[in-house]
Structure 1
Amino acid sequence: MQRTDLLMRIRNYKDLENPPNYDSDKITVIEADLNVNSFDSINEASMDFKISVMLHLRWINHLITNQFTSVKSTLEYVEMDATKMGRLWVPDLYFPNEKRSSFFNVMTDNKMMRLHRNGTVDYTTRLALTLSCPMNLERFPFDKQTCSIKIESFGYTTSSLQLRWSNISENAVALNQTSLPQFEVTGRNYSHRERTHRFRGNFSYLQADFHLERNIGYYMIQMYIPSLLIVLLSWVSFWLNVNSVPARISLGVLSVLTITTQSSAVNASLPRVSYIKAIDIWMTTCLVFVFAALIEFSMANVLSRNSSSEKEFLQRIFRMTKIGRIEKEKNGNDVTIGLRRRRQSQTDGEKKDLIVNEFGNVNLKSEANEKAEKVEQNKGLVYASYLDIACRVLFPAIFAIFNIIYWVYFWKLTVN
């Protein structure tokens, strides 16, 4: 019966509704322990993280000792769950960087208070928190982040209440075995500080920092390797014939569209920041390379078309002249078309043909001159082939140099 009597007396004792040392100038010291049960998620887009914690607070209220003595209880402590705590005083703590929070209440509210004979009060509660975590994504996805839990009194200034991390446990902030899909917890530290609120005064607050390092594996598989393969695929056009216009155009356009879509998919899960990220440098460079491959084909195609267009132009004039001559003959026009004859050159043995133009003039062209014209006409096609051959070496070499600089630079930043 002494446990029941003790609980009834404590619940009915109104002075326990006030903070300890309420009628004196003494400062109430609250010691805190934090047990992190799990990191549920870390969201870069909203810059917050979800966490499940067990918060344990301890303080001393000597009025409780008097209650144990008054009922002559031999108990060392007595427990009170959420239904029995009633209006007993608990610190008015809140989380300054909180976005959302809730108590766990499966079966019953996950709150418990233990009152000791020596006046010590242990209060434990289980919380689900969504806390703000400002992130610097300049090195994304090679970045390291620090996310914090901050605890502060809402109404009691440092003159009446101060918060401290517990010195009983070596680890005032304990971290259970957690496995995050994209991050690894590399360390933690905790501190207590004071800060001033305008119009309110100085307040004591606790801060626990968790150091997180991003795992690069997901982004290697989903972003870096696919974009690398797309860049390599765009170089296949250098080995295709210059006249294979549909194949080279399709390859170039599809490569550009794929890189653009992939870059958009990366940024869709990230906040719209104004600075350049490490992944932006990579995706932009890949886009430049596939776009440059498409431009190279355009240049090669222009060179090849210029060589063939002159030949086609001369052939078109010859056909038009021949058609005009036939039409004039049908109309009975007396036009002297010219002479067809062959001469055997005694000096060099060159064979000359007579080419008739629409004005009746006779032009003689040697086989040597025709070959020279063909070489001149095919010069553009040769230049286009040389351009393709040069790009087969130039593009991979420049891209390899970029990769060396990119990966070495960000690897050193990650190590340091």
Structure 2
Amino acid sequence: MMILDILMYIPFLVGVFGDAVVGDKATNVSSSQNKNASCFDSELDFQLIDKDYDSKFWPNYKEVEKCISNLDPNEGIGDKLPHSCAYPIAIGLKLIDLKDINIAENLISMEIAYMEQWIDNRIILPSFMNSECVSADQLRSVIYLEPLHHYRAIIWSPDFYIRGCLGSRISSVIKSSEALVLHDNKMIDNLVTMHMILMCPMDFQYYPFDEQICNFTIESYGSFHKRIAIVWLPNGLQKLSEFRLEGYDVDVVQQHPSVIEYGGYVFPQLKATFIFRRIRIKYVLLIYVPSMLHFVIAWLAFFLPKEVSQGRCIINCSTTLSLVSMLSVYTRNSPHGGYVKVMDIWCYFSILFQFVCTLDAMIDTRLLYMAGNIKRNPLESGTRYVWGLVTDTSHWLGKEVRLVRTRDEGRGFDETARDIRRLTHISQAQKAPEQSAAKGTGGTLRNYRASPRYYRFLRLLVSYQEWSQYICLMWYLVFLLGYYVLCVP
């Protein structure tokens, strides 16, 4: 925002907010003596106050204290805010430009125009604002009080502060972008346009679907809620079209006046809530869609012929490395915190499903290698349990190795089968000595393929591998549904 553009907001705010009337509590009663006091007194014309003016007390403080003294001492804070006795100070806030959201330090940077408005009947209007001193064509309804530091030192102003404000800067390259404005009804506008850095606690548990809520809180540090009330001007909270940031949807909500308690004392408070929502389409297109496409490639590899399972391993390993490289970039650039984010959950499970697809291809490769060796060497000791599994063409493993020939191609299958039965009888005769030897040494059988338990394990593994592509797809769809329900607000 250029300096000239910022300076333009001060008279604009005066025009927008200047017609507002601050409460019904401010009285406009003044004596005719005060009306005419400054007609011929140049000193009073400059000072605007007399010797009875005390800048330590707020306007109408005597009426406020009288109202409080008539209250029930046992009265609580109650739900009616602002307090019925409190003197109202109106606030106007114009949001000009949103500069930055620092997610690393939980800070937001913005340009704002801030305004406080109140009526002080103790002010003595200068002669050029008094209709009894000058003619109608010379009468002025609004003036800027200058020098600014002089009037801010002698005129009472609210003791308000912005909670969580870590710093502000008022531009003064050409002219300071702040003003103190006096109206002919003794209403005072305190305006300032500034660049502000506001602290905003952020929660990134649902990143990148998170919604950050920041409060712009105005409080009084020395006036109790029964004496001073902070209220909004009519149309007091305004957001310009420039108040936006790439990658976010920004909403502003005007809150009702409230109070806050410190050390047993209750102080007035006013809030404006900023809601920052990330634009999700960017993260869906750059993270979630590519991750799902990686899984689709790994899943489609299931339908390649089993004899090229080694090629499946290469494809799955390549897609896994590509996925890990892509997700690591976004994880490294995502907000850090001491908790698991939904983005982390997506990364972990995406890599897990890629690993499962790769592991499935490796198991296929191992089973085919083992079955091919058994088919080529049917007379090898300890193959009696798995021979039926290898030659059974009702499942995929038997179909894949059905064309594998035995090592002795000159012999027929019937002769081979007779040799298998002969080896079976021999192995049964040797079974008892082998078991006693294994029990005596505390070991196991030397040939693990001679175990019925191993045969049952292979049987289950082969059955699983036949339906593994559909099981993997089912679990991935379950994960997608659970992620959408639990992790996407």
TM-score by structure 1 length? 0.70
**Distance in structure 2 (CA, Å) of the matches to 1:13 and 1:300:** 98
Offset at 1:206?
Answer: 1.0
Aligned residue in 2 for 1:99: 166
1:306 matched to 2:370? The reply is yes
C-alpha contact (below 8 Å) 1:163/1:192 kept by paired residues: yes
Instruction: State the SS of the aligned residue for 2:145.
Output: strand
**Distance in structure 2 (CA, Å) of the matches to 1:39 and 1:99:** 16
Offset at 1:124?
Answer: 0.9
Instruction: State the SS of the aligned residue for 2:299.
Output: helix
TM-score by structure 2 length? 0.61
Q: Can you list the C-alpha shifts for 1:237-295, whole angstroms capped at 9, x where unaligned?
A: 42455565764444333333343344444443213142x44333333321221011111
Q: Percent identity, aligned pairs only? A: 18
Offset at 1:186?
Answer: 4.6
The correspondence of residues 323-402 of structure 1 with structure 2, limited to 5 A, is 366-370=412-416, 390-402=467-479
Return 5+ residue gaps in structure 1 as ranges. 317-354, 356-363
**2:250 aligned to 176, 185, 192, which one?**
185
Offset at 1:28?
Answer: 4.7
Q: 1:229 to 1:266 in 2, by over 3 A?
A: same
1:208 matched to 2:254? The reply is no
Return 5+ residue gaps in structure 2 as ranges. 1-38, 65-85, 381-407, 421-448, 450-454
**Distance in structure 1 (CA, Å) of the matches to 2:460 and 2:417:** 18
Instruction: Return the letter of the residue paired with 1:395.
Output: C
C-alpha contact (below 8 Å) 1:11/1:88 kept by paired residues: no
C-alpha contact (below 8 Å) 1:79/1:113 kept by paired residues: yes
C-alpha contact (below 8 Å) 1:304/1:381 kept by paired residues: no
C-alpha contact (below 8 Å) 2:128/2:140 kept by paired residues: no
Aligned residue in 2 for 1:121: 188
Aligned residue in 1 for 2:444: none
Aligned residue in 2 for 1:164: 231
Greater per-residue strand proportion: 1
1:61 matched to 2:98? The reply is no
C-alpha contact (below 8 Å) 2:252/2:272 kept by paired residues: no
C-alpha contact (below 8 Å) 2:310/2:362 kept by paired residues: no
C-alpha contact (below 8 Å) 1:52/1:129 kept by paired residues: yes
Q: 1:370 to 1:36 in 2, by over 3 A?
A: same
**Distance in structure 1 (CA, Å) of the matches to 2:273 and 2:87:** 25
**2:108 aligned to 38, 44, 49, which one?**
49
1:10 matched to 2:75? The reply is no
Count of residue correspondences: 357
Instruction: State the SS of the aligned residue for 1:146.
Output: strand
**Distance in structure 1 (CA, Å) of the matches to 2:236 and 2:418:** 90
Q: 1:45 to 1:254 in 2, by over 3 A?
A: farther
**1:76 aligned to 131, 136, 141, which one?**
141
**Distance in structure 1 (CA, Å) of the matches to 2:127 and 2:88:** 22
C-alpha contact (below 8 Å) 1:51/1:129 kept by paired residues: yes
**Distance in structure 1 (CA, Å) of the matches to 2:98 and 2:173:** 20
C-alpha contact (below 8 Å) 2:120/2:187 kept by paired residues: yes
**Distance in structure 1 (CA, Å) of the matches to 2:47 and 2:379:** 113
Aligned residue in 2 for 1:144: 211
Q: Can you list the C-alpha shifts for 1:86-132, whole angstroms capped at 9, x where unaligned?
A: 53443332211223332233422210111123221011111222223
Instruction: Return the letter of the residue paired with 1:142.
Output: F
Deviates more, 1:154-163 or 1:382-391: 382-391
The correspondence of residues 225-264 of structure 1 with structure 2, limited to 5 A, is 225-240=289-304, 247-264=311-328
C-alpha root-mean-square deviation of aligned residues, in Å?
A: 4.2
Q: 1:28 to 1:105 in 2, by over 3 A?
A: farther
